[in-house]
Structure 1
């Protein structure tokens, strides 16, 4: 599968390729799925989801970031039917989504409420801040959709004085929800 090209900058860090790989694996997207990317920013998750799912809705509240999503979508080959909406979630969220990616922490409780009310099967929320991760885990648990929590950190190697050292990225807390979740084991 082709790499995601992100020639346009949204003044925010896109979800790193390694994080996207795990995110998409947890969303378990298929060709008949409708997935929603809440807080699309650069469009990186939208693009990768559109290569797996039949339909994608990207929601972004900032017009300049929405424009970046659209430009980056145009720079990549995708097969899915993609809709891009300027809205602050939960406004603009479709009623028929199978899977939901929450990339931002604004209004996430209302987004989760919408997901529960509309029977979204799979939800993944990625968080970089520990306090938000704690609140998100509790919000998933309260809605009885908490399936698992994954914490990981990506490091990339670089040359340092003729040897390899590593530059670590911030840890990512991935909260995974499912409609039929049995909770953490």
Structure 2
């Protein structure tokens, strides 16, 4: 992978919070490399991968799915036009505005910075949907001097809201 992407360990936590059902419409706002959409697509009726500019990596990764729609548009504009059941917001620009208009049953905002996580939690509280923030810290093993050591991944705040 060459672009920015949500690590599979974090996607597992996101999936456990969003708990999609087979009839759900899923939206990945700020889809980046398409890794989150790729994970969710087999479990939902329809998946939208939304970004201002869809990367070549995302296009390649998602072309095998018949139920995935790639949309080059702003997340706020998407949420004004569409009504997904479960939403993942992976970018940080405009998070509060998106949460203000988002009416999904469940929503997760991933944030690398605590300020963004707190801002998302504050907006979710205002809307009465805030449930929790989960801080995901993971490390992966690698070979070192004939043994194994661990390299930490960047921690991620998973901010979860539910109606």
Q: TM-score, normalised by structure 1?
A: 0.82
The number of residue pairs the alignment matches comes to 162
Q: In the aligned structure 2, how far is the partner of 1:89 from the partner of 1:17?
A: 23
Q: List per-residue Cα deviations over 1:72-126 (Å, max 9, x = no partner).
A: 112xx54x521111011101234321000000111111111121xxx31000111
Q: In the aligned structure 2, how far is the partner of 1:163 from the partner of 1:120?
A: 46
Is residue 2:76 matched to residue 1:90?
Answer: yes
Q: TM-score, normalised by structure 2?
A: 0.92
Instruction: Give runs of aligned pairs for residues 57-72 of structure 1, distance below 5 A.
Output: 57-63=48-54, 65=55, 67-72=56-61
Q: CA deviation at 1:131?
A: 1.8
Q: Is the 8 A contact 2:100 2:123 kept in 1?
A: no
Q: In structure 1, what is the equivalent of residue 45 of structure 2?
A: 54
Match of 2:94 among 76, 101, 107: 107
Q: In structure 1, what is the equivalent of residue 148 of structure 2?
A: 164
Instruction: Give runs of aligned pairs for residues 1-185 of structure 1, distance below 5 A.
Output: 9-10=2-3, 12=4, 14-63=5-54, 65=55, 67-74=56-63, 77-78=64-65, 81-93=67-79, 94-115=81-102, 119-179=103-163
Q: In the aligned structure 2, how far is the partner of 1:32 from the partner of 1:153?
A: 32
What root-mean-square deviation, in Å, do the aligned CA atoms of Structure 1 and Structure 2 show?
A: 1.5
Q: In the aligned structure 1, how far is the partner of 2:49 from the partner of 2:92?
A: 16
Any stretches of 5+ residues in structure 2 without a counterpart? none
